[in-house]
Structure 1
């Protein structure tokens, strides 16, 4: 069961927090979950006490920490879920991460950074969330924790958050994006490298890829039409880019996708 709570746009909390979610899994032991890159920065609380959750990124296998930061991955995350477990997540604006935790994308991209080591107060918050009776109570506790820590964002940071969080935003060239922000192209690359771990060209390509995932889930467009809508050079460019991020072809992803965008599940036979 999945639960979501979007933060109202007029809430002061929206400067840092986009939405909260909770996934309560009950099913066959060791369900395999593949999470393709989603372009979201999430603080995830692993509230499972029945047993460890095993995960793998590329060739590294590890146990999910109690609280970890997951960001602009460029490769899939694999997890093996126990029979019962609960995960609670906060989806943050990218610019808020550096302000809240003094971290850059290089610190957490393509890994599950243990935030209780990088930011000790989150261990206390993990215990408090574990004690809450339900999802609404956890959302309320997280909002209470965040209010005194809210960052003050510049207009450029607000624009970048909107752009990075919205796959459907108008595709911009590097010069056009720099002009929108009143940045030089070099300064824009430095800023995006800090937020996403990618340079400007890589970030724009990632943006197209994320838009393609959205369209696969929300439309019946053909893959050729999706490639065109996302402004890939051609179908082959779309397929190469999609496979580079997901290790799947767009056709295979569409065939096996679940109700949750970016998540694929398989169970033991």
Structure 2
């Protein structure tokens, strides 16, 4: 029993709040681990699995995952320890959508797994609605209806759109803070304030993270050498690329490429 489903929104308003809705079902006959590297995502996950343990690899802290939780933006890897049935249904939020939907910036959730009730009390009812549907298409309809209601009630909906436009650009490797300010027509001080408020990090860290994420995905292109990956992502030389990649993942790009699966940022052990 191994299956995966994915819904990517096409509606312009939905796309400002969520990146995708996904579902994964797996059966692990033996104990196994999955190491998840920083991916720059914020995810609300409905956990219908057997017992799965989240391990903070820096502190060694082990926590059994709750039935419904939010995983914020990660700056360091973590590990999942699994056996038996794994059934995750997830909503991958945009960074700005988090604030628009729940009135809280993502900064408070960096490198954390937070029980859903601490994010929003009404999520418990949503959990029951998703659990009651078996078909992925029906579960998606439940989420889209909930999303429509949350967006309509949001006081930040218009600002989410503006922030999405402000921090969206095609080639992060070509940008520094000064150039981003010029292109977007804002001051350094204003951009720094908005970055901290909406992203939970300063502008420089945001740009570094974007370069790292670009490199992470490029490493899955078999035709690219490490040097090409580094240059394409915006690193000025290979040693700079290796150093920055290791600062996020604890491993070199070569070691990561040797252990990759089909999904960027996931290493099965």
**TM-score with structure 1 setting the length:** 0.90
- Residue matched to 2:189: 186
Whether 1:136 aligns to 2:142 is: no
Please give the alpha-carbon distance, in whole angstroms, between the structure 2 residues aligned to 1:46 and 1:194: 29
Give distance in 2, aligned partners of 1:179 and 1:89: 37
Asked whether the equivalents of residues 173 and 233 of structure 2 are also in contact (C-alpha less than 8 Å), the reply is no
Partner of 1:61: 62
Q: By how many angstroms is 1:44 displaced?
A: 1.4
Alpha-carbon RMSD across the aligned residues, in angstroms, is 1.8
Q: Structure 2 residue aligned with 1:208, among 206, 211, 222? A: 211
> Which of the residues 171, 174, 182 maps onto 1:171?
174
Supply the distance in 2 between the matched residues of 1:256 and 1:235 (Cα, whole angstroms): 20
Aligned to 1:261: 264
Larger CA deviation: 153-162 vs 233-242: 153-162
**Map 1:100-111 → 2, pairs under 5 A:** 100-111=101-112
Query: In structure 1, how many angstroms separate the alpha carbons of the residues matched to 2:87 and 2:230?
Result: 36
Answer yes or no: is the 8 Å Cα contact 2:173–2:235 preserved in 1.
Answer: no
> Do the aligned residues in 2 keep the contact of 1:105 with 1:193 (CA within 8 Å)?
no
1:7 paired residue number:
9
CA displacement at 1:98 relative to structure 2:
1.0
Q: Do the aligned partners of 1:41 and 1:94 also contact (CA within 8 Å) in 2? A: yes
Query: What's the offset of the Cα at 1:161?
Result: 5.5
Unaligned runs of 5+ in 1: none
Partners in 1 of 2:75 and 2:116 — Cα distance? 20
**What SS does structure 1 have at the residue aligned with 2:89?**
strand
Specify the alignment match of 2:34 in structure 1: 33
Offset of residue 80 of structure 1: 0.8
What secondary structure, in the 3-state scheme, does the structure 1 residue paired with 2:268 have? strand
**Partner SS state of residue 113, structure 1:** strand
* Number of residue pairs the alignment of both structures matches: 260
Deviation at 1:64, TM superposition (A): 1.4
Superposition map of 1:215-230 within 5 A: 215-230=218-233
Match of 1:158 among 158, 161, 164: 164
1:37, CA displacement in angstroms? 0.5
Cα deviation for residue 153 of structure 1 reads 2.6
> Does structure 2 conserve the Cα–Cα contact (< 8 Å) formed by 1:95 and 1:161?
no
